[in-house]
Amino acid sequence: MRKPILSTLLALLGAATLSAQMMPDSTVAITARWEVGDKMDYTCITRTLQMDADGNETPLTSSKEALRFVVAEATDSTYTLNIHVEALEGEQKSADLQMLTNRHGTFLGGDAILAPMLFFHGAQVDTTGSYTFQQPFSGIIGTGTVTLDTHFEVDSALTDEYSVVMRMETEADETQLRLLLRDYMFSRLLAAGEATDEDYDDFLDQFDEEIHANPIKAFFGEYVTEEVELSTGWPLQWIYDRYVEISQGEIYSGIHLVREISPEDKIGGE
């Protein structure tokens, strides 16, 4: 009997990227203006946890960085941000990044890893509304990309004249994840020299037979809670949770990624 496909599945977790977005009409406006020299300092704590089938979590990795955002250039419509990342704990290395964005928080180029923090910069949102848009996600399983619906709304109970609190969520169904898993498994076979492109149709038949005999259950969820200061457009808190769970029979693999970013004293005490 062939072993279940998931017996060879290893790394599941990667970084998702956010695309450009269109914001709806609103009753709450977040400032869209920055000046050259404006800056904000943050602390970023990231943890990766292994999940078991009962929902218990075991820490795998953790890191802590200091982040400094500086508006280096500004035009009538765009900003260039210089971002210094100073490693404080863990295996991450210090780095200097640069990102181009506009007055509506749309990522236009450069280093995208921190772009999600600025998603609501310049946004105008209805405190009673709920909104949906589509965006591509990569790295959920392997390097494949899938387009998913993302929903967000204002937490009106926590929003006041000082700041707005937004909640955003994205989930994928089993059908979407099975397609990613299928392509990932075949890419592994290609990389190992155990298959060629000509074997793809046979692989599809085997994969379909296997999941029919041993159904795969899968879940992907990404959840963001963000507080943004209305008068400056800078995030005051950004909390990110990402879950990837796949099981087949008694085989289970689950990863939970947590990232918390909040303002901190300036780097170097300046």
Higher pLDDT: 60 or 156? It is: 60
Of 26-30, 158-162, 181-185, 259-263, least confident by mean pLDDT is 26-30
Instruction: Assign residue 193 a region (left: φ > 0; alpha: ψ between -120 and 50; beta: otherwise).
Output: left
User: pLDDT tens digits for 51-105?
Assistant: 999 999 999 999 999 999 999 999 988 999 999 999 999 988 999 999 999 888 8
pTM here is 0.83
Predicted local confidence at residue 14, as pLDDT: 37
pLDDT at position 54 = 92
Exposed, middle or buried by CB within 10 Å (0-12, 13-18, 19+), for 270?
exposed
Q: Quote the pLDDT of residue 22.
A: 32
Retrieve residue 117's tokens: 């923090």
Sign for the pseudo-dihedral over CA of 16, 176, 150, 222: negative
Pick from 217, 215, 216, 260: which is nearest to 242 by CA? 260
C-alpha distances (whole Å) from 147 to each of 60, 151, 170, 258 are 29, 13, 10, 22
For 163-183, how does the pLDDT look when each residue is reduced to its tens digit (9 = 90+)?
999 999 999 988 889 888 888
Query: All domains of the chain, ordered by start, with CATH?
Result: 5-262 (2.30.230)
pLDDT of residue 13: 35
- With 0-12 / 13-18 / 19 or more C-beta atoms within 10 angstroms meaning exposed / middle / buried, residue 254 is buried
Among 209, 212, 264, 256, which Cα is nearest to 238's?
264
Asked if the model's pLDDT at residue 24 lies above 70, the reply is no
